[in-house]
Amino acid sequence: MRRTLIALAMAVPLLCGLPAQALPQSGPVGPAPAVLAPVDASVGTPPSDVAATLDPLLADRSLGRSVGAVVIDVATGVVVYDIEATKPRALASNQKVFTALAILDALGPEARITTSVLWDEVTTTLTLVGAGDPTLASVSATGSSLAVLADGVAAQVSGAVSLTYDTSLFSGPTIAPGWSSDYAGMGIAAPVSPLIVDRARILGGDARESDPALAAATAFAVALADRGVIVGDIRMGSATGRVIATTESVPVATMVETMLTESDNDSSEILAHLAGAIQSGTGSFASGAAATLTTLQSAGIPVQGAGFVDGSGLSYEDIASPLTLVSAISLTASASAPAWTWPVGLGLPVAGLTGTLADRFVGPDTRSAAGFVRAKTGTLIGVATLAGTVVDRDSRLLAFAFMSDGTSDTDAARAALDRAATALAACGCRG
């Protein structure tokens, strides 16, 4: 019963009334405090039930010959199992765990992002300013919307106007190293922009907009026209004039939870860029990667060998060791976790129930772990990762990271990792 109650408590979201905040305000001040003592993975772990349980499962042929794994007892911080703990491997979507920490460190979970419209009466020009809000919608809903902006404009402006859209918050390439130029059409990720609407989805399918900012400005022009404000031309430009309308996003905490649960590539890239913009003044793949690395280092997470080029993990150049990954997971689950990290734990999918784990842990060999495992998934061709927390048979909270980057069958590899996590849930593993 105690084990069941613990698992259910981990799976139930917190209900928080969060006050509005507008950028560039932030929650935490200064770097994240160090809360983890460095783990010395060079000291071998004694033989234990954990090894007896995991060794045969992680030797599964489907995982290939390049497997790394670490298990930490969250309460004590002791490494109870490791295979090549410090060897960096491709992260796939587990990169999003690091992105979540970076944006939470930069802004705090209660922050909200404000998108604004400026009005220049001399040139009769409206400017829609991209603020890095990945949740901006075209219609009124919970959070930010173009409809709210259009209502605000129509109450003060009438007749014919010009419309510019400002994307200067982000700079540099819009596609990361290692990405395919076909990702937008394939529905994987849009070119990164601080101005997107409806998650850059093209109506009627999963394909993304090839120019999200222009698509957002065009949708805004339609909303204005519906309210009697006629847009003559649309162009990219710099913001001028005074603010006449604003719309505020849902809290960053909500964005982070959704990003992790759904493994949303577009929002993770925008949030990584935004973390970079908070740190350096301009968002880019490079500044986002730098902000992410800074957050991990400041929190005391070992980062030797880690390297990041995007915020989603779509690139094979995003690498980190199992020790780095499990340390980040353990950080958010520990009793000494910084207060701003709580959305990460709530955002991790629940085995057999939510997000990218909703259709996993449902077979006869893994369903016993449904509800007891919370973990971020990661999949690329040849790569399968799973990292999260599990409550074992003795009600002990374990953090784990399993990484395989040499598989020829990713579906079989994911199933093998699920079986390993299931075995941890069933284990009375004292180490």
Catalytic residues: 93, 96, 263
Token pair 């740190």 in the structure block, residue: 279
What is the Cα–Cα distance from 145 to 162, expressed in whole angstroms? 20
142 burial level (CB within 10 Å; 0-12, 13-18, 19+):
exposed
What is the Cα–Cα distance from 175 to 285, expressed in whole angstroms? 9
Indicate if the alpha-carbon torsion angle 227, 229, 230, 231 is positive or negative. Answer: negative
Put the strands of the sheet holding 373-380 in their side by side order. Answer: 78-83, 67-73, 397-404, 383-391, 373-380
CB 397 within 8 A of CB 361: no
Backbone φ/ψ region at 368: left (φ over 0), alpha (ψ -120 to 50), beta: alpha
List, as one string, the DSSP characters of 351-419. TTTSGGGTTSS-STTTGGGTTTEEEEEEEETTEEEEEEEEE-TTS-EEEEEEEE---S-HHHHHHHHHH
Token pair 């060999």 in the structure block, residue: 365
What is the Cα–Cα distance from 130 to 301, expressed in whole angstroms? 33
Tell me, rounded to whole angstroms, the distance of Cα 390 from its chain centroid.
Answer: 20
What is the Cα–Cα distance from 164 to 232, expressed in whole angstroms? 11
What is the Cα–Cα distance from 135 to 255, expressed in whole angstroms? 8
Indicate if the alpha-carbon torsion angle 268, 269, 272, 274 is positive or negative. Answer: negative
What is the Cα–Cα distance from 327 to 84, expressed in whole angstroms? 15
